[in-house]
Amino acid sequence: MALLLNEEQQLLKETAEGFFSKKAPVSALRTLRDDKSENAYDPILWKEMSEMGFAGLLVDEEHGGTGFGYIGAGIVAEAMGKNLSASPFFASTIISAALIKAAGNEEQKTSLLPAIATGETIVSVAIDEKGQHSPESTVLSAERVHEGFRLAGLKIFVPEGGYASQFIVLSRTSGQAGERDGLSLFVVDRRTAGLIVDTVVTADSRNWAKLTFENVTLDAAALLGPEGAALDILEPVLDRARVVISSELLGISQECLDRTVVYLKERKQFGVLIGSFQALQHRAAELYSEIEITRSAVLKALQVAGTGTDMAMLSSLVKAKASKTAELATNEALQMHGGIGMTDEFDIGFFMKRARVLQALYGDYNYHANRFARLSGY
């Protein structure tokens, strides 16, 4: 497949870029932060996004979505990255919807997917328990009790977890931490007795939560997918989610370059435009090249994501590359903006803070470079 968007995808890109730059630019995130908005998202924006069809991209028509697929998801995520638009788009309509689609029975699909596609229900996923991503290290225990399961343990870094109404929780039903087998997924309503949700104030001014499970008792029907084999379902879904995160990182990188080039053309120092210094021209040109390579890798991965192909290596390649490029882009943007870039009044710092969080989400550069090497048999 050519590394180009078709007409329908190009139209979605223009629509998404116009929508987010108008409705949810960086200044909107700044307002959410300064107002100490409890959930760090705007429900009115989310309703409009849902009406635009952005919440149903991965949900098939049978369940009320558009079934546009991963290329559409990447296009929207990139536009949100450029504008740092805050919403439960990724947490609910990408990773949660894909997990329910891949693992859910008909009843679970019917009760959750249409409500996700309309934006009415916000679902999130709880995977990690420590600072470094590692699904197989899951300790949170799900013990069989006569009425179903009893969950005890802790989850952190849950995206949009402070206001999600349902959580998909990776739990250990058997085996030891570090083992691939013995993991299971459960759908947990946030109002369930024994579940404590704490919102964490983070550097990117977005909503992240810590979940504490104090003997949370669930019906057997809460089990999502096969008991003990969750990673077989979770890994391919995570690989696709990582590509969508990479799209958001790409949007951040592109916006940092665009803003920096504008600045290089207007800022004078020593009587000349700083953009006339060859040292800075080369750095801008190098960053441009890195972003173009990243863009091609991301699009290729988005195309593959829509097929059933195993994409562990490609996903790790893309997440590693997009993370590295975003680190370079945000660092270079800040340095080339000089002292003004350090001030909070200037937006560049917001991009850097968001980028580092996304770089870490579901495995950073080192995690994925290592995984790529392992899968390559090095």
Partner 1 sequence: MLKYYGTELNKERNELVLKVEGSDAFEWEGQFSNNGEVARRWLRSKGNSIEGGTSEVQLNIISKRILDLPA
- Residues near partner 1 (CB under 8 A) are 128, 130-133, 156-157, 200-205, 208, 277, 279-280, 327, 331, 334-335, 338-339, 341-342, 349, 352-353, 356-357, 360-361, 364, 366
Cα separation, 222 vs 140, whole angstroms: 16
Of 134 and 217, nearer to partner 1 (C-beta) is 134
Of 152 and 357, nearer to partner 1 (C-beta) is 357
Minimum CB separation from partner 1 for residue 307, in Å? 31
Minimum CB separation from partner 1 for residue 20, in Å? 23
Of 130 and 144, nearer to partner 1 (C-beta) is 130
Closest to 354 (Cα-Cα) out of 208, 143, 242: 208
Minimum CB separation from partner 1 for residue 188, in Å? 21
Minimum CB separation from partner 1 for residue 331, in Å? 8
Minimum CB separation from partner 1 for residue 36, in Å? 10
Cα separation, 153 vs 200, whole angstroms: 18
Residue 10 CB-half CA count within 13 A: 5
Minimum CB separation from partner 1 for residue 190, in Å? 21
Burial class of residue 115 (count of CB atoms within 10 Å of its CB; 0-12, 13-18, 19+): buried
The tokens for 130 are 């420590």
Of 150 and 267, nearer to partner 1 (C-beta) is 267
Of 103 and 169, nearer to partner 1 (C-beta) is 169
Q: Tell me, rounded to whole angstroms, the distance of Cα 289 from its chain centroid.
A: 24
Q: If you search the block for the tokens 């810590």, which residue do you land on? A: 210
Of 87 and 330, nearer to partner 1 (C-beta) is 330
Closest to 42 (Cα-Cα) out of 82, 8, 1, 84: 84
Instruction: Please tell me whether residue 37 adopts helix, strand or coil conformation.
Output: coil
